[in-house]
Amino acid sequence: MTAAEPWLTGRRAIVTGASRGIGAAVAGRLAAEGAHVAITARTLDHHATLGGSLRETASRLARVGGTVALVVADLADEGQRARIVPEAEERLGGSIDILVNNAAAAVYQSILDYPLRRRRLMFEVNVHAPVDLAQAVIPGMVARGEGWIVNVSSATARPAEGPPFRTAGVATRIGIYGASKAALNRETNALAVELHGTGVRVNTVEPRAAVVSEGAEALVGGQLAPGQIETMEEMVEAVVALCRCEPDHTGRTDVSLDLIDELGLAVMSLDGTGVHHGPGRRGP
């Protein structure tokens, strides 16, 4: 790679949950960095209540350049998610270098009456799907001697501190979601242990504060103070850093802003063309 080329020129990436929010922003940044990107979500067009669509994300990526592949699949369905990696590899022209498991099912409800069907849905999408996709891309990564798997997690994975416990806001409704993210963190570490020495890096990253995507706004909109929010650009910077980290950076559960500080990164705009100057800016 020459100094003038973007960081990820020619890399092939998959980003799940890319119709809106963090997934769409990460996909756009990877494309801006030169990657060929396969984006996946449940539907091609608009969600019934949320803005953004897979088609709109693809349109934005196409303007950047590189190959864009759309794979419509429901991660809650084992058969549908089994298609994602083969279809992405066929359309991008080779095996996958980068997998970003961003998609998540987030149904906030008290564990006292949380129905089994919803628990199963949550774990299918947040726990089983990331492992299935990782298992599908790992052979190609190992054969090349390098690869990057990034799982997007959440601070809700950590047990609540107390007693006394904080019960305001969504604190009493995030138990099952947090449990699924705790499982994601642990399986990330387990994959890294087994893949150590192969060149495949496996990490999770969670926001330090809330990233107000379309989905987050629907779930907790109006319940967050300014100090509880970080910018989309900051979260994306952390994710992209893990898409090009060194081999010894693996098996970790990183926190977005802490990772940015650790690596001394400037937070770039979502199109990668300059330093982000919005609230919470980190950079020169």
Cα 19 to chain centroid, rounded: 12
DSSP-derived secondary structure letter, 174: -
User: Comparing C-alpha atoms, which of 65, 76, 4 is closest to residue 40?
Assistant: 76
Q: Annotated catalytic, 124? A: no
Residues 7, 9, 12, 18: is their CA dihedral positive or negative? Answer: positive
Of the residues 18, 177, 249, 270, only one is catalytic, namely 177
Which residues, 6 or more positions from 236, have their beta carbon under 8 angstroms from its beta carbon?
A: 22, 25, 26, 29, 270
Quick one: angle between helices 232-242 and 21-32, nearest 10? Answer: 60
Q: Annotated catalytic, 177? A: yes
Task: List, in sequence order, every beta strand (DSSP E) within the chain.
Answer: 12-16, 36-41, 68-72, 98-101, 147-152, 200-206, 210-211, 229-230, 253-255
Of the residues 20, 81, 128, 181, only one is catalytic, namely 181
The catalytic residues are 177, 181
